[in-house]
Amino acid sequence: MKKEIVVSKKAVFEFSILFIVILFFIITSYLLFGGKVKDAITKSSCKLVKGVYIEGERIGKGYCINK
Protein backbone atom coordinates (compact mmCIF):
# COMPACT_ATOMS: atom_id res chain seq x y z
CA MET A 1 0.00 0.00 0.00
CA LYS A 2 1.23 3.44 -0.88
CA LYS A 3 0.99 6.09 1.76
CA GLU A 4 -0.42 9.34 0.41
CA ILE A 5 1.26 12.57 1.39
CA VAL A 6 -1.21 15.28 2.27
CA VAL A 7 0.06 18.85 2.12
CA SER A 8 -2.15 21.56 3.49
CA LYS A 9 -2.71 24.90 1.78
CA LYS A 10 -1.02 26.64 4.71
CA ALA A 11 2.17 24.61 4.25
CA VAL A 12 2.25 25.37 0.51
CA PHE A 13 1.76 29.07 1.27
CA GLU A 14 4.57 29.07 3.86
CA PHE A 15 6.96 27.28 1.52
CA SER A 16 6.18 29.69 -1.30
CA ILE A 17 6.76 32.71 0.97
CA LEU A 18 10.07 31.22 2.13
CA PHE A 19 11.08 30.58 -1.48
CA ILE A 20 10.23 34.16 -2.47
CA VAL A 21 12.23 35.61 0.44
CA ILE A 22 15.30 33.48 -0.37
CA LEU A 23 15.02 34.36 -4.06
CA PHE A 24 14.78 38.06 -3.15
CA PHE A 25 18.02 37.89 -1.14
CA ILE A 26 19.82 36.02 -3.92
CA ILE A 27 18.78 38.54 -6.57
CA THR A 28 19.57 41.52 -4.34
CA SER A 29 23.00 40.13 -3.47
CA TYR A 30 23.77 39.54 -7.14
CA LEU A 31 22.73 43.07 -8.07
CA LEU A 32 24.79 44.60 -5.25
CA PHE A 33 27.93 42.46 -5.51
CA GLY A 34 27.73 40.92 -8.99
CA GLY A 35 30.13 43.37 -10.63
CA LYS A 36 32.70 43.03 -7.86
CA VAL A 37 32.56 39.25 -8.07
CA LYS A 38 32.89 39.35 -11.85
CA ASP A 39 35.95 41.64 -11.57
CA ALA A 40 37.53 39.37 -8.96
CA ILE A 41 37.05 36.30 -11.16
CA THR A 42 38.43 38.13 -14.20
CA LYS A 43 41.46 39.34 -12.21
CA SER A 44 42.18 35.82 -10.87
CA SER A 45 41.81 34.15 -14.26
CA CYS A 46 44.00 36.84 -15.82
CA LYS A 47 46.82 35.87 -13.46
CA LEU A 48 46.43 32.23 -14.51
CA VAL A 49 46.97 33.03 -18.19
CA LYS A 50 49.73 35.53 -17.35
CA GLY A 51 47.81 38.45 -18.75
CA VAL A 52 47.39 42.02 -17.59
CA TYR A 53 44.17 43.01 -15.87
CA ILE A 54 42.72 46.35 -16.97
CA GLU A 55 40.06 47.98 -14.80
CA GLY A 56 36.94 49.00 -16.63
CA GLU A 57 35.14 52.30 -16.55
CA ARG A 58 32.53 50.80 -14.23
CA ILE A 59 32.43 47.97 -11.73
CA GLY A 60 32.12 44.67 -13.55
CA LYS A 61 33.64 45.95 -16.79
CA GLY A 62 37.27 44.97 -16.19
CA TYR A 63 39.05 42.84 -18.78
CA CYS A 64 42.25 40.95 -19.41
CA ILE A 65 44.77 41.39 -22.22
CA ASN A 66 47.54 38.93 -23.03
CA LYS A 67 51.12 40.14 -22.75
Task: Establish if 54 belongs to a structural domain.
Answer: yes
What is the model's pLDDT at position 7?
Answer: 77
Task: Establish if 3 belongs to a structural domain.
Answer: no
Q: Are the C-beta atoms of 52 and 65 separated by less than 8 Å?
A: yes
Helix (H, G, I), strand (E, B), or coil: what is residue 58?
Answer: coil
Q: Are the C-beta atoms of 36 and 59 separated by less than 8 Å?
A: yes
Banded model confidence at residue 1, pLDDT cuts 50, 70, 90: low
Is the Cα dihedral 50, 51, 52, 53 positive or negative? Answer: negative
Q: Are the C-beta atoms of 37 and 25 separated by less than 8 Å?
A: no
pLDDT surpasses 90 at 6: no
> Could you report the per-residue pLDDT of 15-66, keeping only the tens digit for each?
999 999 999 999 999 889 988 989 999 999 999 999 999 999 998 899 999 8
Question: Which range of residues forms the domain containing residue 57?
Answer: 9-66
pLDDT surpasses 80 at 2: no
Task: Establish if 55 belongs to a structural domain.
Answer: yes
What is the model's pLDDT at position 45?
Answer: 92
Tally the domains of the chain: 1
Tell me the whole-structure pTM to 2 decimals.
0.58
Task: Establish if 4 belongs to a structural domain.
Answer: no
